[in-house]
Amino acid sequence: MAVTVATPIDRAKRILQEIGTEGIRWTNAELGDWLNEFYAAAVAIKPSVSVVNEELQLVAGTKQTIPDGGERLLEVIRNTVGKMPPVFVATRRELDTVRRTWHSDEATTEIERFVFDELDPRHFYVYPPAAVGAAVEILYAKVPESHDVAQDYSTFSQEPFRLDAAYVPAAVDYMLYRAFSKDAQTGANLNRAQLHLNQYLSQVTGKAQSDQMASPNSPDASANPPGGNA
């Protein structure tokens, strides 16, 4: 059964003891806004919570940009034209040292390397320079589309939860953090807000660590291939 927006919002309302159908102290629209905020906050901490895998048509030259709405490049996998060879990462220092004029080398549709800078996450460079018609398969992080909370709750609450269902508890804690922060004039609510903030952060970062441990690329996984001895 698909998880809808109602799942995290209704859980948060039960904990807040918000009994109003539309919400009294914490309205449905307000909780919906915080859910939208959670999507962006989660992607900022762990970009892989919302990954898009698609083909990118490259512009001529070395400098490239990920699609509109993308937050940061995660990986360039392969060429999607010709014989579709893989693309490997390189550092700008490596290319600048070995081929000082690499930005003006002969253009081609077969890309060999890509360069990424954490300081400019929406752009990357390719080598050799891309010719018209070059295309690659990329992975990039994108904040999910926001829910329109101006609609009636019965409408937007039935929209799908934008992330994997495993992130519903983190979404609930994020909304509770924002809800108790609204009444942070009292020490008890301030403490509750901090508690839920810490739980939200722990769940998102903890999921990142468990995903890494369970990855087929992890040393533990590669040491025990299917059919091998544990």
As a whole number, the mean pLDDT across the chain is 89
Q: Which of 83-92, 150-159, 208-217 has the lowest mean pLDDT?
A: 208-217
190: confidence class by pLDDT, cuts 50, 70, 90: confident
Quick one: which of 69, 55, 51 has its CA closest to 111?
Answer: 55
Distances (CA, A) of 146 to 158, 213, 215: 14, 31, 29
Query: Is there a contact between 178 and 208 (Cβ–Cβ < 8 Å)?
Result: no
Cα separation, 110 vs 79, in Å, equals 7
Asked whether residue 181 carries a pLDDT value surpassing 60, the answer given is yes
Element of type H or E holding 32: helix 28-45
Global pTM reads: 0.83
Q: Can you give the C-alpha Rg of the chain in angstroms?
A: 22
Q: Determine the pLDDT at residue 216.
A: 46
Q: How many CB atoms within 10 Å of residue 109?
A: 16
Q: What is the mean pLDDT of residues 39-61?
A: 96
Asked whether residue 182 carries a pLDDT value surpassing 90, the answer given is no
Asked whether residue 17 carries a pLDDT value surpassing 60, the answer given is yes
207: confidence class by pLDDT, cuts 50, 70, 90: low
- Quick check: helix, strand or coil at residue 145? coil
